[in-house]
């Protein structure tokens, strides 16, 4: 059985949001925080991980990521609140 993929949303120092996918959320946040992540987070320093959710495979994670990236920031923040409630 393969490990799950995660879709995550970061909040950057300038209040912009970044959405990505990974198999290891902690490692990926460290990469973003140390400038080894995406170009976006090298220019917009990540402040914190807002939330993440698991997907069964990379394909589904990629589709969800693409959908979220098209949303306005307020909707992305709403999704984060829902993900956090689902994990309580």
Is a pLDDT exceeding 80 seen at residue 88? no
What's the structural domain count of the chain?
1
* DSSP state for residue 30 in the 8-state scheme: H
What residue numbers bound the domain in which 38 lies?
5-86
Residue of 9, 3, 5 whose CA lies nearest to 74:
9
Is a pLDDT exceeding 70 seen at residue 1? no
Domain containing residue 81: CATH number: 3.40.1440.10
Residue of 69, 51, 49, 62 whose CA lies nearest to 22:
62
Cα–Cα distance for residue pair 22/52, rounded to 1 Å: 10
User: What pLDDT, on the 0 to 100 scale, is given for residue 87?
Assistant: 76
pLDDT tens per residue, range 59-75: 999 999 999 999 999 99
User: What pLDDT, on the 0 to 100 scale, is given for residue 62?
Assistant: 98
Cα–Cα distance for residue pair 69/18, rounded to 1 Å: 8
Give the predicted TM-score (pTM) of the model.
Answer: 0.93
pLDDT tens per residue, range 11-60: 999 999 999 999 999 999 999 999 998 899 999 999 999 999 999 999 99
């Amino acid at each position: 059985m393969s490990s799950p993929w995660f879709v995550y949303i970061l909040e950057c120092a300038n209040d912009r949001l970044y959405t990505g996918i990974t198999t290891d959320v902690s490692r990926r946040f460290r990469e973003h925080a140390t400038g080894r992540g995406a170009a976006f987070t090298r220019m917009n320093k990540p402040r914190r991980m807002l939330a993440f959710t698991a997907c069964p495979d990379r394909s589904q994670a990629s589709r969800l990521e693409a959908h979220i990236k098209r949303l306005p920031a307020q909707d992305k923040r709403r999704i984060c609140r829902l993900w956090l409630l689902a994990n309580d």
